[in-house]
Homo-oligomer: A and B are copies of this chain.
């Protein structure tokens, strides 16, 4: 193999050449401060020539000054386990059949040695090979639909995913469907599918990974296993999100898809149900249903109807002190709905009232959620809330703003009375309020 200098120059390049270490090689580096193990990364363009960069097993990159390096040892390449026939597991006719639709993200990613970063790469069938335990629980039928970082997914992709699921529900006998997805916007897609796939007869479980599968702390395998077990064995139907619960490595939480949020940038248990608990835990490959105020639908031959269209002329605006009401005016020109993320019980400053009146007058649907995230919007308590109700702002109770944004895109495309639909509970996105 040719020596890959990885952009290193001067002292760094000499040191690497001396030890025959190329970018992508696993190395042990002894320094004055101790020994480090990792994979040699290419040089950052802006970095000093005196440093080399290795990716530690923690997943983080570290720069090491060449002057501090006492020795460097190249380690033998790890071989990937070989799989004789990637489809052999799937042929077991006695296991429940589960479809695995891959859309991209970290769960389907491997390391990019050129950059030290992670990019979408693995196909669903490769994933299937890399988590052989799946074979004990389901006969998996994998399909790659998209290969995209989830921050790039748009409402038109929700339509594609909903149509693909609809096709699988209507024309094949799956016990459940797993959708692998980047975590950044997984909760938005999950909410979108909840509205688009009405009367689902089986569970559809979205799953992602916070850390890529080449990292020792990766959650990819356990998450996928948990999602598959729930899809194959749960007695309930509907859309769910399955991800790590807590910091332990043995428990997956299943969340109602309209009530879940990514609440941490990097933790494996980043996804949390809001205002309710997760509806189920999966531990040791068995499902433990949790007490919940949500009534889940049972598996059935319900009247399944796919309504996969979305109107993306919806914008979420988060209020803050100093917020310029002109942002409302601009938004109203090109959007059919504005979801406000107000303060507290659902407020924005009185300076916004004229712009909101104008927007409502022009036929734009304006709805209120709270940036507090937890708790219910209640706009009858203070003058500000009552004034906003008078203007025609639609209060959305305890619907989280992300779900509200998605729901508005869906109602605008599917309902004759969007304001009314926004206030009705369609997919567990609103809890019954405290009775008066």
Report if A405 contacts B (CB, 8 A): yes
Smallest distance from the beta carbon of A261 to chain B beta carbons, Å? Answer: 8
Interface size on A, residues (CB 8 A): 80
Copies in the complex: 2
The CA of A381 and the CA of B184, in the complex, are separated in Å by 13
Docked CA distance A402–B323 (Å): 12
Interchain CB contact (< 8 A) of A315 among B60, B324, B349, B383: B324
- Which of A17-25, A112-120, A220-228, A295-303 faces chain B? A112-120
Decide if A262 is an interface residue (CB 8 Å cutoff): yes
A372 partner, pick from B264, B347, B372, beta carbons under 8 A:
B264
The answer for the CA separation of A60 and B434 in the assembled complex, in Å, is 9
Asked if A372 and B270 make an inter-chain contact with CB atoms under 8 angstroms apart, the answer reads yes
Residues on the B chain within 8 Å of A152, using CB: 349-351, 384
Is there contact, CB below 8 Å, between B343 and A375? Answer: no
Residues of B within 8 A of A326 (CB): 330, 334
- A269–B203 Cα distance when bound, in Å, is 36
List the B side residues contacting A57 at CB < 8 Å: none
Q: Which chain A residues (357-413) contact chain B, with CB distance < 8 Å?
A: 370-378, 380-384, 386, 402, 405-406, 409
Contact with B along A32-59 (1 / 0, CB 8 A): 0000000000000000000000000000
Contact A117 B381 (CB under 8 A): yes
A121 and B270 alpha carbons, distance in the complex (Å): 42
Instruction: Give me 11 other A-B pairs in contact (C-beta within 8 A), A119-B383, A184-B347 excluded.
Output: A63-B436, A151-B319, A151-B342, A151-B344, A151-B384, A154-B321, A154-B349, A262-B372, A264-B373, A317-B318, A320-B402
